Amino acid sequence: AQTVTQSQPEMSVQEAETVTLSCTYDTSESDYYLFWYKQPPSRQMILVIRQEAYKQQNATENRFSVNFQKAAKSFSLKISDSQLGDAAMYFCAYRSAAGNNRKLIWGLGTSLAVNP
């Protein structure tokens, strides 16, 4: 069974600086999708960025980018020029490309604080 591990329960960053959140996963599959979700204090989960396993190029969305290392099964999230609004819980998630249900496998999250 697949698992997702976020080894940093809490992190902090100074406003305007860069922070990297770690995520590793375990799978025997070759085709899958990886996601980072953000959950601010308002509670609603928001999709930040996603990556297809068969694409070598790292995904980028404005200030958010990933470092996808397929062989190492690592999918870290880099937030550049951190803003106060980036403070939130961040969840890494995995989904197999096979099967009918294609459920997400979630990490336990990393709480990010942004210091002014």
Partner 1 sequence: NAGVTQTPKFRVLKTGQSMTLLCAQDMNHEYMYWYRQDPGMGLRLIHYSVGEGTTAKGEVPDGYNVSRLKKQNFLLGLESAAPSQTSVYFCASRTDRYLIAGYTFGSGTRLTVV
Binding residues for partner 1, rule: CB under 8 A, are 33, 35, 37, 42-47, 50, 52, 91, 97, 100-104, 106-109
* Cβ 31 to partner 1 shortest distance, Å: 9
Residue closer to partner 1, measured from CB, 52 or 67: 52
Q: Which two tokens stand for residue 74?
A: 């690592």
Instruction: For the CB of residue 50, give the shortest distance to partner 1 in the complex, in Å.
Output: 6
Cβ closest to partner 1, residue 44 vs residue 56: 44
From the CB of 42, what's the least distance to partner 1, in Å?
A: 7
Can you read off the two tokens belonging to residue 78?
Answer: 């880099």
Cβ proximity to partner 1: between 16 and 104 the closer is: 104
Kindly report the number of other CB atoms within 10 A of residue 4's CB atom: 22
Judged by CB, which is closer to partner 1: 61, or 81?
61
Tell me how far, at minimum, the Cβ of 14 lies from partner 1, in Å.
27
DSSP secondary structure, the chain, as one string = --EEE---SEEEEETTS-EEE--EEE-S-SSEEEEEEEE-TT---EEEEEEETT--SPPEETTEEEEEETTTTEEEEEE-S--GGG-EEEEEEEEESSSSS--EEE---EEEEEE-
